[in-house]
């Protein structure tokens, strides 16, 4: 796996990033790290008093129009790091008390990340991604990632095309999440912490209840109760530049409608309070 003829993500750009060519993510062949921090706002089963050891990478393979991290996701932002420097950053976070290493939007830098994860770290490694992944890329992470934390944003292909330029998002993300679950197996707990398994995040979008219900129907049908966890998020925060209904937060009625579908599908996991839809929870990049 390298940066030449890049096929790391489903965009399959095929550009030679090692030669300076740029694909959809517009990122070079050196990992760009936008922020290294202990992050207290991940799911409670991941981030206790020590927080998650978050490493935010610049750029993204999705480019969602409502992204809260668009200050770094929109292009090649961050400090260049080779595998040795990245490993040092991970070990530094662990020394500070981080309970896991949380790789945030990492896929387009995997050729640098993979050697940084060897030998295996003494804390769980969390792969925090948008769900838009290739099965072949997930296979390369076998034995190095403990917890997958993918989004499942859309079941509606039109919505995926409009907001993320990825009409094939649903079928692609479903295959990837199923591959993640096969790789790491059912969720494993150590006390009140998840140390292995898959936690699927779904962000409710304003005015798009039907999209959320279809996502939850898929998860309820594809996985046995307790096989994965679901994190239902209501933190959508209008970032400007989008028309109605995306210029507002999610209503209580929308949230309750989607929450009821979590119970009907016998899905286990986490929910968010309404206060999460606040810019104060967006890291300062």
Q: pLDDT digit string (tens) for 223-238?
A: 999 899 999 999 999 9
- Tell me: pLDDT of 278 over 60: no
Write down the mean pLDDT value for the chain. Answer: 94
* Contact present, 246 and 238 (Cβ < 8 Å): yes
Q: Nearest-CA neighbor of 33 among 67, 73, 78?
A: 78
With a pLDDT cut of 70, the percent of the chain lying above it is 95
CA distance linking residue 119 with residue 90, whole number of Å: 12
pLDDT number for residue 241: 87
For the segment 45-89, what is each residue's pLDDT rounded down to a tens digit? 998 899 999 999 999 999 999 998 888 998 899 999 999 999 999
**What are the angstrom distances between the C-alpha of 71 and each of 56, 67, 242, 282, 284?**
11, 9, 16, 10, 9
Mean pLDDT of 101-115: 98
CA distance linking residue 161 with residue 253, whole number of Å: 26
- Tell me: pLDDT of 91 over 70: yes
CA distance linking residue 15 with residue 217, whole number of Å: 37
pLDDT number for residue 1: 85
CA distance linking residue 88 with residue 71, whole number of Å: 25
**pLDDT band at residue 36, thresholds of 50, 70 and 90?**
very high
Neighbours of 76 (CB within 10 A): 15
pLDDT number for residue 284: 57
**Least confident stretch, 89-103, 158-172, 234-248:** 234-248
Mean pLDDT of 159-183: 98
Domains and CATH numbers, the chain: 23-281 (3.20.20.70)
For the segment 12-28, what is each residue's pLDDT rounded down to a tens digit? 999 999 999 999 999 99
């Amino acid at each position: 796996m390298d940066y030449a003829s890049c096929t790391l993500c489903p965009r399959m750009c095929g550009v030679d990033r090692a030669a300076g060519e740029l694909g959809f993510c517009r990122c070079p062949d050196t990992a760009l790290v936008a922020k290294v921090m202990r992050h207290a706002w991940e799911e409670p089963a991941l981030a206790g008093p020590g927080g998650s050891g978050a490493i935010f990478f610049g750029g993204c393979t999705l480019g969602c129009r409502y992204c809260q991290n668009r200050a770094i996701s929109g292009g090649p932002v961050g400090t260049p790091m080779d595998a040795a420097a990245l490993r040092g950053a991970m070990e530094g976070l662990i020394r500070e008390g981080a309970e896991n290493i949380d790789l945030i939007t990492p896929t387009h830098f995997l050729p640098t990340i993979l050697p940084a994860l060897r030998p295996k770290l003494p804390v769980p490694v969390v792969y925090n991604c948008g769900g838009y992944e290739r099965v072949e890329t997930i296979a390369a992470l076998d034995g190095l990632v403990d917890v997958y934390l993918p989004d499942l944003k859309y079941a509606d292909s039109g919505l995926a095309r409009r907001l993320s330029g990825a009409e094939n998002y649903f079928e692609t993300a479903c295959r990837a999440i199923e591959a993640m679950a096969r790789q790491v197996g059912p969720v494993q707990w150590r006390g009140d912490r998840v140390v292995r398994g898959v936690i699927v995040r779904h962000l409710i979008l304003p005015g798009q209840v039907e999209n959320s219900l279809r996502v939850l129907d898929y998860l309820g049908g594809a996985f046995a109760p307790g096989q994965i966890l679901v994190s239902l998020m209501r933190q959508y925060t209008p970032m400007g530049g989008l028309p109605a209904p995306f210029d507002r937060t999610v209503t209580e009625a929308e949230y309750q409608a989607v929450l009821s579908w979590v119970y009907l599908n016998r899905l286990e996991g986490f929910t968010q309070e309404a206060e999460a839809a606040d810019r104060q929870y967006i890291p300062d990049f």
